[in-house]
Structure 1
């Protein structure tokens, strides 16, 4: 079964992530390319360090080559944002990253990008699924990879220098040089080491790296930057006296941050810090875009700046589309993905790491102090999060309860409104909120709540958990 979710097609290796399914995706996209009259443009393909990613990129490339469509293959472990960058640079109609991003090690997947380096919209992925349904898999042609290379239908490319130079052109290198920072980088066994280390060292930072070897099991942990997965980074930052600890997820499109005291900086706070910095220190004007499960502190800040905060469903394609529509200066999500105006139209953990280093250098205060300044102006916001893995039967049962019967617990608070834009979200009159939604990339139910105290956020979250018998 091939089904695209909020972050592309992701599946367990050997179940739905198979050579046959990848060839179906390539064939479907080939047909769309001919239908759209863009067969003269190359397809940009890259891959991360997951098991089978390199071979999967070759399998996909071989189908395009058999169709007479040229492939430009980034034939090394590349950050997903680098692939998006190259789609934009070459004005390609489509690009593909073989990755399952931050999913567990048994997963792999495919992300599809469209013109300008954007994440494929639901309209595009629906079209891919519809084309797949028409294909007879026995009629799929493949061209031998080595023969396709010789014929020039597959061309190996290396956009690493151009990607790095692009990011360097966007940051204040001299401000970072003046600080002489010591930074500990954790690629989480993923693909950001070369690019982010090169950028930081160009800015004369003293950079040490951990967890950088090739390990398809990601050291036995989830390749997603969270307070739990970055506990080792936190300890080493304090022990080694580093100014910052920076982590990226498996394909380097998400960011994690540890301050000098070993404190994990939540992705919500990263967004708040950067919006504050861009507006108050760099003088940028414009709104901010967040998804439906991200902090409302951004709303308060935007209001104070005379700007607008735009709420969109989960899925970065919605953030980038709304940013383009509104000319917002930053957009992001509470899982660590963000993008800034003037760069690619998708999330980039490498650029985010560089920009956060610039922010820290320019403001010249510990991150905790900067956040205290922000919250003294715009209020306190505390989030409580809970994830629950479940069977398909249990998922369908809860979907019926929440979205068909529209049942909800009594939270004991005045409700301003209820939204079904993406999941089930309750907005309280006191400014707090809670949302319950199913992940678009794995069989997980997520509950997020945000209130003015941690105790209240935890209490509201627990009420929902008990109501759903979780």
Structure 2
């Protein structure tokens, strides 16, 4: 893809993501959708107003009206699009650092658009064959104030609210100054939780912590969980389509384990679960135990979501805290994920650490190297140097004797990602270091 990556178009505003490109993207997206109205929202990044206004200008120049939903998690916009049968555009760079921003396109069913649709939009960007109207027919901008309540009520309709409220959970939530700064604390208050919030103010520089909810970025949340008497800690990324958890002892829970846990208590005999090849084998073990079918795809939430739709899967997700609950909508949703976890804790009447004791224990070590050569060249060199069985569903997944290693180019950054898994933490680290060294040598 020339403009689109794994999750939309991303770049640094005024460098590669210019206002000129953003306006052109707005014209192309609106021409492609050919809808009377498009819904638009953004996260809290400083450049959000600039990029959004450029996109909106492009949209309105084609005669399309804009429903502006304000600052909203990406899944909040997606829910609005699904409920009102409208396409949408989200201005966000998700977990990327604050200097980045991006443009995501949402179909009228609430899913991120397909790769085929992205290619058609890219062709329009290059050909500049945009719809154009007279001044009297240009689009108008209409603020929308009900999107948050619609989104929150939709989530609450799918869990046992009374059971959650009865538990009066003590929760620490870190929204990372991102798009969920209001929505997630608001949702937790509706669940009758005792809430301590961290970084629940919109700050486009993410001055409190890096946007990606990794252990090294959640020191304050982890420290608070260890020092207080809390039931669970929750953290989001910049646009809140992901959610990670800290247990009652202050231990960070890897996304693959929270996914496996929620799947364990959600799926039934014969259900289908979808996940990328980057996910832990713990999920494979859980699905075998529950007699559920597991389908593995290329990495990318839109790919997982569309595979779920095609196979009528009840749940799916990624190892990064992105869970997709089919009964709600076919996209990653951090607020839905935290609701499913609270519902599970309330129903089982156990602590998070107790529930995790029943999840198969695997360790994934993640690392990366800078991509300074073309991926295809690197890929060919790797294949020549590896004498193990390789799965090429996405990148190269090397099946080792005591685990596996996935090597693939990032769709959002100029890096090559390395995922190494084993039942032994030391072995996972050894595999990670082995292939990181090999990559550095080849690059």
Shorter-chain TM range is over 0.9
The residue that corresponds to 1:51 in the other structure is 46
Cα separation, partners in 2 of 1:465 and 1:87, compared to 1, 3 Å: same
Cα shift at 1:119: 0.8
In structure 2, C-alpha distance between the alignment counterparts of 1:463 and 1:343, rounded to whole Å? 41
In structure 2, C-alpha distance between the alignment counterparts of 1:425 and 1:306, rounded to whole Å? 25
1:290 partner SS: strand
2:280 partner SS: coil
Q: String of CA shifts for 1:254-300, please: whole Å, max 9, x gaps.
A: 11111111100000001011001213xxx585121111111111112
The residue that corresponds to 1:156 in the other structure is 143
The residue that corresponds to 1:395 in the other structure is 373
Cα shift at 1:317: 0.9
The residue that corresponds to 2:19 in the other structure is 19
Number of equivalenced pairs: 440
1:207 partner SS: strand
1:356 partner SS: helix
Cα separation, partners in 2 of 1:61 and 1:131, compared to 1, 3 Å: same
Q: String of CA shifts for 1:412-459, please: whole Å, max 9, x gaps.
A: xxx4x31222111112455x2111111100112111011111111111
1:302 corresponds, among 258, 280, 287, to 287
Unaligned ranges ≥5, structure 2 = none
Q: String of CA shifts for 1:355-399, please: whole Å, max 9, x gaps.
A: 111112222222222121232xxxx31111112234xxx232x64
In structure 2, C-alpha distance between the alignment counterparts of 1:68 and 1:119, rounded to whole Å? 23
TM-score by structure 2 length?
Answer: 0.94
Cα separation, partners in 2 of 1:67 and 1:58, compared to 1, 3 Å: same
Cα shift at 1:65: 1.9
1:239-250 matched pairs, under 5 angstroms: 239-250=227-238
Are residue 456 (structure 1) and residue 427 (structure 2) matched?
yes
1:126 corresponds, among 116, 119, 132, to 119
Check the 8 A contact 1:257/1:264 in 2, yes or no. yes
Check the 8 A contact 1:285/1:329 in 2, yes or no. no
In structure 2, C-alpha distance between the alignment counterparts of 1:358 and 1:226, rounded to whole Å? 24
Check the 8 A contact 1:403/1:424 in 2, yes or no. no
1:238-387 matched pairs, under 5 angstroms: 238-279=226-267, 286-375=271-360, 380-387=361-368
Cα separation, partners in 2 of 1:405 and 1:362, compared to 1, 3 Å: closer
Are residue 4 (structure 1) and residue 29 (structure 2) matched?
no
TM-score by structure 1 length?
Answer: 0.88
The residue that corresponds to 2:75 in the other structure is 81
Are residue 419 (structure 1) and residue 391 (structure 2) matched?
yes
Q: Cα RMSD (Å) of the superposition?
A: 2.2
In structure 1, C-alpha distance between the alignment counterparts of 2:344 and 2:269, rounded to whole Å? 14
Runs ≥4 in structure 1, deviation > 6 angstroms? 139-143
Structure 1, 191-200 or 157-166: larger mean CA deviation: 191-200
In structure 1, C-alpha distance between the alignment counterparts of 2:58 and 2:430, rounded to whole Å? 53
